[in-house]
């Protein structure tokens, strides 16, 4: 993507977009917007996890926009904003995974099956007429062990595209997190994760 200058119309529109997202996102946890016209139009969105408070969401959105500017100064296309209207489209390109380095010791094959089962259920729940496109759940593995899961989409997607996005993310877990005690696949449109400790409220 091409660059822009600080005093350009694009730069001014980007500042305006960030200011709108700061106020629009925290109350509901999601917001999108466009500012400017033609080649100077900026489109952006921000999403906070479904259980995050408005105050923490606000802090996160401000921090993320600041970090984007520091890491990618004067670039016209980033994960949070773009000069291309990407609303409603599944973003499968901007994706990364995080893995708990600890391995599952007892019956890793069964553990992997339980992860898939839990997250598939959460994919259905998050994408099925759920206004936040967000679901969490847990399953008891044994007397002392509980598996926790999370699934979430950006709310510009349709229910069908949310489900597609989550299912692709879940299918990527074996590549990063096979037989691991936790893992996450995070993309521009959705994310899934599992851990052997509570994810929500952390």
CB 195 within 8 A of CB 182: yes
User: Same CATH topology for 9-82 and 95-195?
Assistant: yes
Query: What fold is seen in the domain 95-195?
Result: Killer Toxin P4; Chain A (3.30.430)
Residue 87, pLDDT above cutoff 90: no
pLDDT in tens, 10-29: 889 888 999 999 898 989 99
Question: Is 182:194 a contact under the CB 8 Å cutoff?
Answer: yes
Which tokens belong to 85?
A: 């209207």
What are 168-191's pLDDT values in tens digits? 999 999 999 999 999 999 998 999
**Hey, where are the domains in the chain?**
9-82, 95-195
Do the Cβ atoms of 180 and 113 come closer than 8 Å?
no
Answer whether 0.75 is exceeded by the pTM.
Answer: yes
According to DSSP, residue 152 is labeled E
Provide the pLDDT for residue 85: 60
CB-based contacts of 186, cutoff 8 Å, min separation 6 = 95, 96, 97, 98, 193
Q: Is residue 162 very low, low, confident or very high in pLDDT (cuts 50, 70, 90)?
A: very high
Worst-scoring range by mean pLDDT, 5-19, 85-99, 188-202?
A: 85-99
Task: Say which CATH architecture domain 9-82 belongs to.
Answer: 2-Layer Sandwich (3.30)
Please give the backbone phi and psi of residue 151, each rounded to the nearest 5 degrees, phi first.
-145, 135
List the beta bridge partners of residue 171.
none
Percent of the chain beyond pLDDT 70?
94
CA angle 63, 66, 68 (to 5 degrees): 110
Please state, in angstroms and rounded to a whole number, the distance separating the CA atoms of residues 172 and 144: 28
Query: Region 53-76: what's the mean pLDDT?
Result: 87
At 74, the pLDDT band (50, 70, 90 cuts) reads confident
């Amino acid at each position: 993507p091409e660059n822009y200058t600080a005093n350009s119309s694009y730069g001014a529109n980007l500042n305006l977009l960030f200011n709108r997202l700061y106020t629009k996102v925290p109350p509901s946890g999601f917001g999108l917007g466009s500012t400017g016209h033609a080649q100077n139009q900026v489109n952006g969105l921000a999403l906070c996890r479904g259980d995050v408070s408005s105050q923490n969401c606000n802090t996160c959105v401000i921090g993320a926009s600041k970090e984007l500017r520091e890491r990618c100064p004067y670039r016209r296309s980033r994960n949070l904003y773009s000069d291309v209207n990407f609303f409603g489209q599944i973003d499968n390109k901007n994706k990364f995974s995080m893995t708990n380095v600890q391995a599952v010791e007892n019956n890793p094959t069964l553990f992997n099956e339980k992860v898939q089962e839990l997250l598939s259920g959460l994919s259905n729940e998050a994408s099925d007429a759920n206004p936040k496109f967000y679901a969490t759940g847990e399953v008891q593995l044994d007397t002392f062990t509980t598996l926790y899961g999370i699934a979430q989409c950006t709310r510009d997607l349709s229910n069908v595209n949310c489900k597609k996005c989550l299912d692709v993310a879940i299918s990527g877990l074996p590549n990063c997190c096979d037989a691991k005690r936790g893992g996450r696949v995070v993309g521009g449109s959705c994310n899934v994760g599992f851990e052997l400790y509570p994810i929500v409220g952390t």
